Structures are given as C-alpha cells and as structure tokens.
Structure 1
Amino acid sequence: MFVVTGATGNVGRHVVRELAEAGAEVCALTRNPETARLPSGVRAARTEDLPFEGATALFLNPAVVWNGADALLRRATEQGVRRIVLLSSSAALDPGPGNPIGTHHRDLELAIEALGVEWTFVRPGAFAVNALQWADEIKSGDVVHGPYAECQTAPIHEADMGEVAARALLGDDLVGQAPVLTGPESLAFAEQARIVGEAIGRPLRYEELPREVVREGMIKGFATPEIADALLDVFAAGVGRPAEISAETERITGHPGRTFAQWAADHKADFS
C-alpha cells in the first residue's frame, strides 16, 4: 500500500491519481477525509491518525511536517514503510544561512537518509501554481501586482511533479536519486501574467511593486521575515537572467514538461 500525504493538495492529488490509474492500493491522507474527492478505490484517512499499517511506501509533502517530521517518520518506519519519496525543493542544493527554505528541505532529506530506507527526493524549482496568488486581483481587474517584473523562472506544472513522484514510488529507477525538476521554458513574471490573460481571454498587465511593499505583504500573509527575504533575494537575482531548464522531467516521464500556457489553460476556472 502507498500512503500519500497532502493528498488533496496541488501535487498530492496528482500522485494519488497516477497511483490509482496504475492499479495501486492507496491511502490518501488529508485534513478532511469526508470532503476529499478522490479516485474510485482510494481510501481517505486523517493525516494526524498516521495510518501506516500495511504500507510499504510513502509520499511525503513537507508542508505536512513543517514543524517537525520525527513522529511521522518514526511511525511510518515502525509500521513497515521502506521507501519514502519526498517532495523537496531545488533550494536544498544550497542550504545554509540566508536560505531557510533550502535548509528546511535539506534537513528533512538528511533525516530520511538516516532512516536507512529507500528514498527519492523530488526537487522542483518554481511552481506554476504559485500564479494562483494573482487570482483575486484578476477576478476584479486587469492588473497583477508583484515584485521584480523581469525575474525569470521556469515554472513547473504540478501534474509533472505528481507523475515523477508516482514513478519513484512504483519503480526502482529513481531510488537514491534527487532529480531537479523545472518547466520547459524560462518566463519572466510579466510574461506569466500575459499568458494567464491569454488563457482567460483578456489582457493582463503586471505592475511591479517596491521590494519593501511586497515584503510587508508577505510577512502579513504567509512568510516569516527570513523566508520573505530569501524569496525576494532569489527573485532579485533572477531579473533579466534566463532560468536554467532541467531535462529531468522529460527523462523521467518520457514526454516534454507541460508548458505554463497549458497550466494556465488547465486553471482558467480559478481566475474567473
């Protein structure tokens, strides 16, 4: 049996779908099993119940264990889990002071390595789904606000991350590997806003805000000052600099990575 944490999240739902389509037995962990919309045959359970009995492999979303993974990992291995596929981050390549996101993910990777289980660390860069932060603005107008309009990233579709993770769970080819994943093209934030506009059928304009204004909003919302500074430093470094494109997505899945335009088309309803 495969256990999937964050099973109704952006990536987890694709992992669940891929496993279910492969005929695997899946236990999907979520905060609200009663409202989870899952494929036929998939069992839903509460994350906090840690139902690992009979499980052999685990997909771990780090958001589920941001405040500590010890209890979950201990329970999983005690109950027989022998393979862990972690949704990590390319930021783990450069952990240390000034990079709390990379440090968190690398620490979690090291904790999994220390268990002596089979592991794969899926290391995506920028998520295409981050563009959903613009949804409220787009629903009410034609201007998107954010930092560093010319910062370039290579946003990856969450379906590609889910497909890679499922392959790592189902087969042996990726054991002991930590593939860095990106989308197939480098795009500035302003270009991403334009592409969303094309998908929904009206022009959108990206308006750059001063760093301190963005930082204040991030801290009021979801980020600590350290995380806000780290993200903004990354964005500043990406201004006018094409993002590196990884070949790993296509190598592992056997098809080119989904474009940002495809992602925008898939998410039209989220901006309406």
Structure 2
Amino acid sequence: MILVTGATGTVGREVVGRLPAGAGVRVMARDPARIAGVAAGVEAVAGDYGDPGSLARVLRGVRTAFLVTARVGGGDDAVFVAAARAAGVRRVVKLSAAAVLDEGAGDLITRWQRESEGLLRGSGMEWTLLRPRAFMSNCLSWAGPVRCEGVVRALYGEAAHACVDPADVARAAVRVLTEEGHAGRAYTLTGPQALSAVEQTRQLGAVLGVALRFEELSPAQARAALAGRYPPAVVEALLDSAQRLKAGAKAGVQDTVGRLTGRPARTFRQWAAAHAASFGALGDAAGPRPPQAGPRASGPGAGTAGTAP
C-alpha cells in the first residue's frame, strides 16, 4: 500500500493522478472530499498531522509513504515520522527543497527543511528525498495582473532560476514510490534551463499572443505585498531566498528529472502553454488593458519565490 499525503496540493494531486492502477494507493487529506481525480480503487481517507490517532488509522497497512508538509517550523514531520515508524512503514519519500544544499541559506524555511530531513534520516526507516527548485506554477500568481494590466511585477528581474514544473516533480515521485533502488538517495530536481523573470515574461507573452511588460519591485514593495499573506518570519525567509536568487544560487541545472523519468524536464514555455487558460485567452484580440496606477506585487520572486526553493 502506498500512502500519498498532501493529496490536494500542487505536487500531491499530480502524484495521485499518475500512480499506476492496481498499485494499492491510499490518499490522505483533512477533507477527503477535496481530493480530485481519484481513480477507481484508490482509497481517500481523512487524516491530520495534528491528530496522531488519525495518522495511526491512515498508516495501517502502508508500506511506502509520500510525505508533504507545509507548516513552516511546525512539528508535522516529527509527528508523521513517529506514527509511520510505529505503524511499520518501510519507506518514506519526502518532498523537501533544493535550498537545503545552498551553503548560504540559513533562513527559517530552509532550517525547517533541513531539520525535517534529519528526522527522517534518523528514523530507522528507508528514506528518499526529493529536492525541487521553486515550481513554475508559482507564476500563476501573475495571472491577475497579466489579465488586467498586461504586466508582471517581481523582485530581481534579471536573476536566473532553474524552476521546475510540478508535474515533473510528481513524475519523479511516482518512479521513486514504485521502484526499488532509491533508498538513501536524495534527488535535486530542476527545470532544463535557468531563466530570469524578464525572460519568463517574454515567453509567457509569446504563448498568450500579447505584449507583456515587466516591472521590477523594490524590496520594500515586495515585503509589503508578502506581509498580507505570511507571518513576519516567513516574509523575511522569502526575501532572504530572493537575495540568494539575485546572487545566482538558484541557476544550476541538473538532468535528474530526465534520468529518473526517462523524459526531459519540461521547459517554462511548455508549462506556460499548458496553463495559458489561467492567464487569459490565447491571442486575445483586445490585448492587455492599459496599466493602472501604482505598484501591486504579484509575487516576490517572479514566480521563483516559494518555500525555500
């Protein structure tokens, strides 16, 4: 039995949809009714990291688990690892972040990921770590300003980032979950090239058939935008992450996706084409609306900011 946690999240829902039929799959969410695309034979169950009793029920009979946690600085990893060990789970595949390998990364989010990895490595169970860079899907935060103003706003527009399609992360996860030979391994997952936000804006505009404009945010503008969405410590962690982006720490490209899945990682342009409807109709004859006054942030890192990517 394979358990998928975070089944309603960016990667988890992709994993659920890609696991082979007959694999024996159980998916966990606080509200199982929100789990979409569950194939026949897949068991959807209610579970919560804050309720160890629910985890004991969810983990009964599970051999391999895909672990996704999102509460920065919380104890969700520790609770799950303890419950999995008690339930006799053989292997845990954890979604982590590439930033754990960045020597200059000491922010709250990266420290949390490193500590969580350490808990799993010391658990006595088999483990595999997936460490993606930031997701291309973070660029969906641009959708409103793109539709309304024809503009993308972000920090450090010329800084390159090897962001990755979440679908590629899911494909890698499925291979690791269903094959032997990955115990004790850590895989860094990137896209096939490092692109700046300026270049992403150009490619997105080409896909949409409109002329998009890029406007660079100041750190103060980015902080103000983030403050309405995250606690102060997380805001500072994301801004620190953006500083490392500016310094070039996130431009390295690896071919891990191709080696694990047998197909090249998707390009940003391919991702944009697959999600064009989220940004507006292709080739809209009306074009983007005139820009409105005043800066409004659509994300601090041009689609490259995330939880310590």
TM-score over 0.5 for the alignment? yes
Match of 2:265 among 257, 261, 271: 257
CA distance in 1, matches of 2:78, 2:152: 40
Q: Is the 8 A contact 2:17 2:38 kept in 1?
A: yes
Alignment-derived partner of residue 287 in structure 2 = none
Question: What is the CA distance between 1:36 and its match in structure 2?
Answer: 2.1
Q: For residue 79 of structure 1, what is the amino acid of its counterpart? A: A
Q: Is the 8 A contact 1:211 1:232 kept in 2?
A: no
The one of the two structures with greater contact order (alpha-carbon pairs below 8 A, sep at least 6) is: 2
Match of 2:145 among 137, 140, 160: 137
CA distance in 2, matches of 1:3, 1:95: 33
CA distance in 2, matches of 1:100, 1:53: 33
Q: Does 1:226 align with 2:236?
A: yes
Q: Is the 8 A contact 2:8 2:34 kept in 1?
A: no
Question: What is the CA distance between 1:242 and its match in structure 2?
Answer: 8.3
Please list the CA deviations of residues 132-167 of structure 1 after superposition, one character each: whole Å capped at 9, or x if unmatched: 111121221201111111011011111110111111
CA distance in 2, matches of 1:65, 1:221: 14
Q: For residue 141 of structure 2, what is the amino acid of its counterpart? A: Q
Q: For residue 38 of structure 2, what is the amino acid of its counterpart? A: P
**TM-score, with normalisation over the residues of structure 1?**
0.92
Question: What is the CA distance between 1:191 and its match in structure 2?
Answer: 1.1
RMSD of aligned Cα (Å): 1.9
Structure showing greater radius of gyration is 2
Q: Counterpart of 2:181 in 1: which secondary structure?
A: coil
Match of 1:175 among 176, 183, 190: 183
CA distance in 2, matches of 1:12, 1:163: 11
Q: Is the 8 A contact 1:157 1:263 kept in 2?
A: yes
- Which deviates more from structure 2 when the two are superposed, residues 252-261 or residues 196-205? 196-205
CA distance in 1, matches of 2:15, 2:218: 38
Change beyond 3 A, Cα 1:39–1:64 = farther
Larger helix proportion of the pair: 1
Q: Is the 8 A contact 2:17 2:39 kept in 1?
A: no
Alignment-derived partner of residue 93 in structure 1 = 101
- Which deviates more from structure 2 when the two are superposed, residues 93-102 or residues 141-150? 93-102
Q: Counterpart of 2:70 in 1: which secondary structure?
A: helix
Q: Which runs of 4+ in 1 moved over 4 A?
A: none
Query: Structure 1: any 5+ residue segments left out of the alignment?
Result: none
**TM-score, with normalisation over the residues of structure 2?**
0.81
Q: For residue 268 of structure 2, what is the amino acid of its counterpart? A: F
Match of 1:109 among 107, 117, 136: 117
- Which deviates more from structure 2 when the two are superposed, residues 2-11 or residues 192-201? 192-201
CA distance in 1, matches of 2:134, 2:72: 20
CA distance in 2, matches of 1:62, 1:15: 15
Alignment-derived partner of residue 4 in structure 2 = 4
Q: For residue 74 of structure 1, what is the amino acid of its counterpart? A: A
Q: Is the 8 A contact 2:13 2:36 kept in 1?
A: no
Change beyond 3 A, Cα 1:99–1:30 = same
Q: Does 1:75 align with 2:83?
A: yes
Q: Is the 8 A contact 1:94 1:102 kept in 2?
A: no
CA distance in 2, matches of 1:126, 1:262: 16
CA distance in 2, matches of 1:165, 1:242: 21
Matches within 5 A, 1:1-272: 1-19=1-19, 21-41=20-40, 42-48=42-48, 49-50=54-55, 51-63=58-70, 67-68=74-75, 69-94=77-102, 98-222=106-230, 224-238=234-248, 243-272=251-280
Q: Percent identity?
A: 38
- Which deviates more from structure 2 when the two are superposed, residues 214-223 or residues 252-261? 214-223
Q: Is the 8 A contact 2:105 2:241 kept in 1?
A: no
CA distance in 2, matches of 1:270, 1:66: 32
Q: Counterpart of 1:27 in 2: which secondary structure?
A: strand
Please list the CA deviations of residues 147-202 of structure 1 after superposition, one character each: whole Å capped at 9, or x if unmatched: 11101101111111011111111112221111111000111011112222222222
Question: What is the CA distance between 1:18 and its match in structure 2?
Answer: 2.1
Question: What is the CA distance between 1:250 and its match in structure 2?
Answer: 0.9
